[in-house]
Amino acid sequence: MTLKVNDWKQVGHVYLWRYSARRSKHAGWHMTADGDGCASIADLLDRMSAEAVGHHRTIALNAPSPEIFSVPNFGEPIREKPGTLRIAYEPGYPDFEPSIADGRMILRVGEEELPDLRSAFVEVSTGGGDFALWPKDKKAATPIWFWWMPRQGKTRF
């Protein structure tokens, strides 16, 4: 039995933030999620891919704690964040495109780029990070950087 997009429910926590414009090397948005959040998003993307029709789902975002936004070691983030993340799956769309509209991050993705987005959350769930997904036209859009979650009282390795 195929699991349906309409039956999906978010679990876990997802975090999204950005730093001031003077941080050109890692400009763009920054994202992480706890293990449950990563698994939940991967499950959603699997369901979208299996149904192979356009769908969108809205993800609740959490404010990153100082421990979370300190992982990249870029200082304080800008104290703004989108209220939600909308993943808009359009199978024929040939790219991955983040944008902001009406106080939410909209992440438009097609079947060609969906595996990379799914892999990003799988990588974060296993402690990986410090990589970005970029739209194909890197000059016209900003990336989303993915980071590992901090571990309480433990080092990364």
- What are the tens digits of pLDDT across the range 116-157? 999 999 999 999 999 999 998 767 678 999 999 997 544 544
What percent of the chain lies above the pLDDT cut of 90? Answer: 71
* Pairing, β 55-60 against β 84-89: antiparallel
19's enclosing H/E stretch is: none
**What is the Cα–Cα distance from 134 to 136, expressed in whole angstroms?**
6
- What are the tens digits of pLDDT across the range 60-70? 999 999 999 99
- Could you tell me the pTM of the whole model? 0.90
Does the structure show a pLDDT above 80 at 104? yes
Q: Which residue, among 50, 40, 41, 136, has the nearest Cα to 93 in the 3D structure?
A: 136
**Residue showing tokens 């050109």:** 24
**What is the Cα–Cα distance from 26 to 20, expressed in whole angstroms?**
10
Q: What is the mean pLDDT of residues 18-29?
A: 77
